[in-house]
Structures are given as structure tokens and as C-alpha cells.
Amino acid sequence: MDKSELIKQLRIERDSPPPSATSRWPWWLAAVLVAAGAAWWLLARPQAVLVKTVVVAMTGGAGAQASILDATGYVVARRRATVSAKITGKVRDVRIEEGQRVAEGDVLAELDGVDLQAQLTLAQAQLEAARSQKADLQVQLAQAERDRKRQQELVGRRLTSAQAAEQARSAVQSLKARLAAQERQVEVAEEAVRVARVNLDNTVIRAPFAGVIVAKTAQPGEIVSPMSAGGGFTRTGIGTIVDMDSLEIEVDVNEAFIGRVSPRQPVQARLNAYPDWKIPAEVIAIIPTADRSKATVKVRIALLVKDPRIVPEMGVRVGFLETEPAAAPRSPELTVPQSALRNAGERWWVFVANAGKAERREVVPGPAKAADRAIQSGIRAGERVIVDPADGLADGMAISEAH
């Protein structure tokens, strides 16, 4: 091999330089960063803390007594109304939805009042016309009174006849009668205006009392009427409103055991939806009639606790409790295990399990009772509190309840 061929083999091609190891380091660096980020996310994400919970119990009062009779029934509302219009008309606007709270006098809906507004405008115009006629008669009467006086003076001077004076007096009396009739016409026109205003005001449907809307039965464009007319094309109501403060329980008691029930008797109720929640109640009255087909007597029971979880038509089981005339009645109270309470100085709190998270609640504790402690405010019966919470547990932390 000659020297020229050896030189060609040793020559470096500048147009295509060989790849070096340093040109591939950005890809390795990116892969390392992705792996590190995934590991950090797995290690740093919040882990659900395993906790043990108990249901807040209602104790004391009727709950400490023994049940002598059990029955089932339903939650009913004593104050319930299907609100309708006082007149027949087409719905222009509906301002309610199911579940909405309304106050007494709030506007629920409006009817189309174009025709009634026109009637009011006509009645007002007629009233103005009647008042104008009355003013004209008053002017004529004043002139007739002056004419009568002049005629009397002329008769005294013998410058006119007695007949002319008599005609002047008759004219005054006629105008007085016409003026009295016109005054009555003005009163009639004023009454017509008041009636037209009432009819127009009837197009605005208001809430008769404060409560919650449980049914919306009309839509804009439909015809509503206070009477059942027009078959299926006419609505008889705008919506149904329930006074939640009037909720009570109605149960049917077998007539063979009705002797065990008496007015003001303590009762313990349990809703089918919340079987662990003991609701204090008492008998209102025993309806003085029996159902022949079922051999039962209806009993009304008052709920001593108001709570938004109690809604009409809920199923409920009640236990009629024996009375203790010798013992002083005790008011119902909430209790939680003392291990659920935490404090810092005079501030006390518990952690409530709410939608998979720990919710810190400030509470006002009452007297201690063995392993439990009464709670005066801050929580409700039926809620779940965390017992023996870990020192690192904080408000909003994810939790998992032990079963």
C-alpha cells in the first residue's frame, strides 16, 4: 500500500462528524426528571388517615325510660297549602322551585294582568268624568243660589213677579238634587276603581305563610283557576308550600293497646332514614275515633327537635315510654365519648367525619357522665365524631373510617 492511500484512510470527513456521547444527555436528563416527579407525587400526596367514629347520641329525658309500646307511622305537616290564584288567568311568571324557602308575603307567581289593567284604567277615567260632572253641578248651583237671591230682592221692590222668584227657588232645589245624585255616582266610580285594583292585585300570588316549596305545579303560559274547570288544560294551583315548623308524627295504634297511650306521654322516635338517631317527642293527642277496617286509633306526636333532615312523609318508628311521676323530668341532651374531645385552654373541639374529610367543630361541653360527656352546642344528633383523633389530625384532612 502506497502512502497516498494511507493518508486517505487517516483523513477526517468534516461534512458528517461522528456522534458523540454528550449529544444524547438531554434525553436521559428528561427521563430522570419524569421518574423523580412521579416518585415525589406518590410520596407527597395526602394519604387518608384511618379513624374510628361513633354516632352522636341523644340521651336523657325520655330516652332514659323503657318503651311500653311500639308503633310505626309517618312524618306529616299540620300546615300545608296548595297555593292558587283567586281568579282565572294565564301564568306570566313563576318564581319558585322545589326546596326553596319562602317568607310570608313573598311573590310566588304572577298572572297576565293586561285585561285587568285596562279595566282599572277605564274605571279611573269614569271616576274622573263623574268628578268633573259634580264640579259642574256645584258651579251651576252656586249661580242658581245667586239668581234666587236677586229674584227675592226684585220681588221685594215689586220689580218682578212672584212666579219668577218661585222658578229661581225650584232651579236651586233641582240642582241640589242633581248634585246629590252625582255625588253618589262619584262614590260608585270610586268603588269600581277599588274593585279593579283588587282584581289586578289578585294576579300576584303570594305565600300565605313561611315555609318550603315541596311541589311546583304550574309553568308560564298555562291557565290557572281556583276552581276545577277546563279538564286537564287548566291548573288549579301554582305550588305546594309546607311549614316545616308544623311537622309532627302520626301513627296508628292497635285499639287493644290504646289504653297505654296518654297525652303528654314521652315518646322516642327513629326515622327509617336515620335509624341510629333517637328523636325525643311526646304525645299531642289521641284522635277520638277508630278505623273500623284496621282496628286502630290515630295518635298525634310532637317532635321536640327541629332538624332539616326531618321532612314530610318520612317513615318513622316510635316507642311510647313509661312515665315517671316521681322523678323530675330531664331534658334531652347530646353526648359523645370523652376521648373525642380536644381542648386548648378554654376552647374545646371535636372532629366530625364529613364526606371523607375531618371537619373541626368548636363545641361547648357540659358535665361528664362516666366515659361520655354532654355537649351543649356545636354538633347535632346523628353526626359521626372521631374518637381518639391522632395529634396530627387537622381540619380538612382526608380520612377513612374503620368498620
CA angle centred on 366, ends 365 and 367, rounded to 5°: 130
The answer to whether residue 35 is domain-embedded is no
Task: Return d(Cα 402, Cα 225) in angstroms, integer.
Answer: 57
Task: Return d(Cα 68, Cα 321) in angstroms, integer.
Answer: 6
The answer to whether residue 34 is domain-embedded is no
pLDDT at 142 over 50: yes
Closest by CA to 290, choosing from 262, 253, 319, 260, is 253
Domain count along the chain: 4
Alpha helices in 99-247 (DSSP H): 114-156, 162-201
Grid coordinates representing 272 are 327509617
The verdict on 85 and 215 lying in the same domain is yes
Amino acid making up residue 383? E
Kindly report, residue by residue over 351-363, the tens digit of the pLDDT.
998 888 889 999 9
Kindly report, residue by residue over 225-260, the tens digit of the pLDDT.
887 654 556 777 899 999 999 999 999 999 989 988
Kindly report, residue by residue over 61-96, the tens digit of the pLDDT.
544 566 788 899 999 999 999 898 888 889 999 999
Q: At 401, is the pLDDT very low, low, confident or very high (cuts 50, 70, 90)? A: confident
The answer to whether residue 71 is domain-embedded is yes
The verdict on 300 and 249 lying in the same domain is yes
The verdict on 250 and 313 lying in the same domain is yes
Distance of CA 137 to the CA centre of its chain: 58
The verdict on 118 and 196 lying in the same domain is yes
